[in-house]
Chain A
Amino acid sequence: MKVIIIGGGKVVYFLAKTFFSKGYEVSIINLDRDYCEILAKKLKANIICGDGSDPRILEDAGALQADLVVALTPNDQDNLFICQLAELKFDVPKTFALVNNPTNEWIFQKLGVTKVISTTSIVSSLIEQKVAVDDITNLLPVEEGRVTISEVVINNDSPVVGKRLKEVQLPKESILGSIIRKEEVVIPSGDTELLVGDKVIAITMPENQGQVFNVLLGSENGG
């Protein structure tokens, strides 16, 4: 898998490291020479110093062979153009655009960039739903975030402690895939009881993820 990341900061560095650990081939494009030099010392990635929205720079980064382009610059218009360039000129099968202004989420989708990541929306929806983030880990988006898998730890204050699953009112389009109870993995049925310390693997649509967390942890829980 060949990945091109455009952008800077810690996110790009750690994302590149994560991709490396998965065995991906990573190229990073950034305009800032100092940042590029630091990255080049730390990572074995192919680092290109330049404007990622310039077709020639993108080609230098291997856009013709790339499987994935991730545009993470702080400027939405650059991310939009990079993804369009990657798709139209280089036929890159998958592109992701970060939007900083959440309004641009639907605009980008309307303009044909379907894989849009809005950190502002994600963070604000978590805060809005007063979710206890401490008890939730491994937020894993699947299929460009159309489904998310998360691990929720049931604590003493959870309103569902001691309840059977069939008594728990989960929103539609969400299921609890499995429960990790100490060393054991339980595939739950309606009669499975939820206990303190259970790690529940919840599979949800992003829209009702917060609601699922509320049901499992209580809406005021540490929120």
Chain B
Amino acid sequence: MYILIVGCGKAGSYLANSLSKKGEEVVVIDKKESAFNNLTSEFTGFTLLGDATEFEILEEAKIEQADVVVATTTNDNVNSMIAQIAKEIFGISKVLARVFAPRREEIYRQMEIDTVCPTTLSVMEFERAIFDS
């Protein structure tokens, strides 16, 4: 599988390392060169330096060939825009976006973008830990 990851922060790089270790083809985009320091020796994919809200960068990453696109930047609106471009313009069937503000999740659903919300997930985990103990 070719998986395109946008954002090489803590989450993006973790995912990239993990998927790469599993033998998937991974390309990671970040606009900061230093972000790629988060990648470990397990990572065998490619890195691309640039702003993924620029269409040309997505083209350079051969987004049209991607099986999965994951937008993991720390900016909800950037993730939303990239996810929409991947889905609506390039017709990528599996697109995931990270969204921090739970209030925005509803709109993402209306736009039919699958989301992962770290805030909601943490709260659920906290609650589970509290009530299970």
Please list the residues of chain A having a beta carbon within 8 angstroms of any beta carbon in chain B.
53-56, 75-78, 80-81, 84-85, 88-89, 101, 103-104, 107, 110-111
With CB as the reference atom, state the residue of chain A lying closest to B80.
A81
With CB as the reference atom, state the residue of chain B lying closest to A85.
B107
With CB as the reference atom, state the residue of chain A lying closest to B54.
A101
Contacts of A53 in B (CB 8 A): 76-77, 104
Contacts of A81 in B (CB 8 A): 76-77, 80-81, 107
User: B5 contacts the other chain (Cβ, under 8 Å)?
Assistant: no
Contact in complex: B77, A103 (CB < 8 Å): no
Known: A75-B77, A76-B81. A88 touches B107 (CB 8 A): yes
Contact in complex: A107, B89 (CB < 8 Å): yes
| 22 A–B contacts from the bound complex (CB under 8 Å) | A53-B77, A54-B103, A54-B104, A55-B106, A56-B103, A76-B53, A76-B81, A77-B78, A80-B80, A80-B81, A81-B76, A85-B104, A88-B107, A101-B54, A104-B55, A107-B55, A107-B89, A110-B88, A110-B89, A111-B84, A111-B88, A111-B89
Known: A76-B81, A77-B80. A103 touches B56 (CB 8 A): yes
Contacts of B55 in A (CB 8 A): 103-104, 107
Known: A54-B103, A55-B104. A77 touches B75 (CB 8 A): yes
Contacts of B81 in A (CB 8 A): 76-77, 80-81
Known: A76-B53, A101-B54, A104-B55. A89 touches B77 (CB 8 A): no
**C-alpha spacing A76/B55, complex, angstroms:** 12
Contact in complex: A89, B107 (CB < 8 Å): yes
**C-alpha spacing A81/B56, complex, angstroms:** 21
User: B19 contacts the other chain (Cβ, under 8 Å)?
Assistant: no
A87 CB to closest chain B CB, in angstroms?
Answer: 10
**C-alpha spacing A80/B54, complex, angstroms:** 14
A-B contact count (CB 8 A): 56
Contacts of A88 in B (CB 8 A): 107, 110-111
B57 CB to closest chain A CB, in angstroms?
Answer: 11
A112 CB to closest chain B CB, in angstroms?
Answer: 8
0/1 interface trace, chain B 73-108, chain A, CB 8 Å (1 if under): 001111011001100110000000000010110110
B119 CB to closest chain A CB, in angstroms?
Answer: 14
**C-alpha spacing A81/B77, complex, angstroms:** 6
Contact in complex: A77, B88 (CB < 8 Å): no
Contact in complex: B77, A80 (CB < 8 Å): yes
Contacts of B78 in A (CB 8 A): 77
Contact in complex: A107, B103 (CB < 8 Å): no
Contact in complex: A107, B85 (CB < 8 Å): yes
B61 CB to closest chain A CB, in angstroms?
Answer: 15
With CB as the reference atom, state the residue of chain B lying closest to A81.
B77
With CB as the reference atom, state the residue of chain A lying closest to B81.
A77
Contact in complex: A55, B75 (CB < 8 Å): no
B66 CB to closest chain A CB, in angstroms?
Answer: 17
**C-alpha spacing A26/B59, complex, angstroms:** 40
Contacts of A80 in B (CB 8 A): 77, 80-81, 84
With CB as the reference atom, state the residue of chain A lying closest to B106.
A89
A196 CB to closest chain B CB, in angstroms?
Answer: 47
Task: Select one of A56, A78, A84, A104 contacting B107, CB under 8 A.
Answer: A84
